[in-house]
Amino acid sequence: MIKQFVPQEFCLKCQGCCRFKEANSVWSPCLLDEEIQELLDKPEIPAASISIDRRIQPIANPGGADFICPFLETLNNQCKIYSIRPFECQLYPFLINLRKNKVLLTVDLNCPYAYERINSQEAKEYIVYLAGYLNSTPLLSMLKDNPQIIQAYEDLREVAELNLPHEIK
């Protein structure tokens, strides 16, 4: 489990993540192969929650416009699968990004917490922690086995380069 940058009490008040402008959003979390199986092993999780390209499939928001994660409880803004939430969800507002043949750790400054604190000592220390964690042998191996997690997101701030072997890129 990844140490969290954004405190849970801040997340529960925010109406940002887990919401998407379209059903096939690039922002919908990609799943690791083992996460797909773990989710499918839960009888309460419909297979339709996972798209063919290994993403959580957003659903129409019953309380308004746009789309939401099928695991978001909109009444209290809580995740129904928080204890087994996917790697990308644990990582957010940080994302693994492919740019110019480099694999980078980036941050989405649409997250108000990250936006307000990205230049703080807290953020600098967290980035060092997270880059070290992602550059560890087990995580590099996991990323090599799950290249779908490395996306080409736009409009994110680069914060660190990851030491992935050339064949992953």
Residue 167 within any structural domain of the chain: no
Q: Given the structure tokens 């416009």, which residue do they identify? A: 65
Q: Compute φ and ψ for 93, nearest 5 degrees.
A: -85, 10
Scanning the structure block, which residue is given the tokens 């220390």?
125
How many domains, the chain? 2
Please give the average pLDDT of every successive group of 10 residues along the chain, which has 169 residues.
Answer: 91 88 90 90 81 91 84 90 92 92 92 95 96 93 90 89 65
Helix (H) / strand (E) containing 15: none
Establish how many alpha carbons lie within 13 A of residue 66's alpha carbon, considering only the half-sphere containing its beta carbon. 11
Give the pLDDT score at 47: 73
In 3-state terms, what secondary structure has residue 51?
Answer: coil
Q: Which domain holds residue 130?
A: 93-161
The pair of three-digit structure tokens given for residue 55, joined into one six-digit string: 């993403």
Pair 81, 108 in one domain: no
Q: What is the pTM of this model?
A: 0.89
Boundary-marking domain end, from 70, 87, 104: 87
Residues 60 and 111 in one domain: no
- Evaluate whether residue 3 is within a structural domain: no
CA–CA separation, 38 vs 24, rounded Å? 22
Whether 56 and 24 share a structural domain: yes
- Give the model's pLDDT for residue 165: 56
Co-location of 51 and 112 in the same domain: no
Q: Is residue 168 part of a domain?
A: no
Shared domain check, 78 and 14: yes
